[in-house]
Structure 1
């Protein structure tokens, strides 16, 4: 889904900060459609609206995201397009909300190190390859761990824990 100066203590990424800007169709058709359905309470393939405070304005910013759930109940946010604005905002805020319809869940976020990403990227690609596979440079869910480690720095991942 669509949607950049990490504060000290964040996990550094390898190489230049990669960001794949959404095209016109994604910005004006696909994301508004998914966001609209999610705001109505209809989850599209596990979609939620991510709400996070802007790092410079403090205003709430929203974007549709896919929440990855793994065995054991842990949940993650993966940035297929790289160092997006929501990634930079979440790094600065450390917390946000996931919304579906009128419900909202507040969470804290911890960025995952590149070394710990291969299994998560594999799970994410297994679930949403058709939707986001083009952003992973030809690396798919069946790629060896070395390939997933190679692209790990291009795709920020956050472990999220909900407030109780």
Structure 2
């Protein structure tokens, strides 16, 4: 952690508005997330879902959330369709994490992608998982956004590249 902060001072990291976050709308979404995480932890492949474990930036305790890693041209990414979520804030503070599906656990380091480089990644993510995450997107952003719609919301959707730890 310390070496990351020394090598990557905060002023080099993008600053996100803490209010750009869509919380789960109801208990059904929380139950769904827990079910997906439970199945993923037991090795069930649900459209590529894996469990991301990040360290809580305040509590220091592990936080687990189902995510959909995206492969593009030999690179792997995570997109936060809900916006500036707890896991994305935690990943900025402590970029080391774990990705798990069943017994397969990978130690990873997450590096946030600059806002001006996110558009093609978000488009590809929505092409693949828009059917699943469309209801989570910021208001005014659909699963097949125009260039203008995407430009208005691109800073609200954190994107991280996944690197081996």
Q: Would you say the 8 A contact 1:17–1:154 is kept in 2?
A: no
Q: What is the CA-CA distance between 1:69 and the residue it aligns to?
A: 1.0
- Distance, in Å, in 2 between the alignment partners of 1:44 and 1:138 is 27
- Distance, in Å, in 2 between the alignment partners of 1:63 and 1:142 is 25
- Gaps (5+ residues) in structure 2? 1-8
Match of 2:120 in 1: 119
Q: What is the CA-CA distance between 1:25 and the residue it aligns to?
A: 0.5
Q: Would you say the 8 A contact 1:49–1:100 is kept in 2?
A: yes
Match of 1:94 in 2: 95
The Cα RMSD (Å) is 1.7
Match of 1:83 in 2: 84
TM score, norm. by length of structure 2: 0.86
Q: Would you say the 8 A contact 1:83–1:155 is kept in 2?
A: yes
Q: What is the CA-CA distance between 1:10 and the residue it aligns to?
A: 1.9
- Distance, in Å, in 2 between the alignment partners of 1:162 and 1:43 is 21
Match of 2:4 in 1: none
Match of 1:73 in 2: 74
Matched residue count: 154
- Distance, in Å, in 2 between the alignment partners of 1:10 and 1:80 is 20
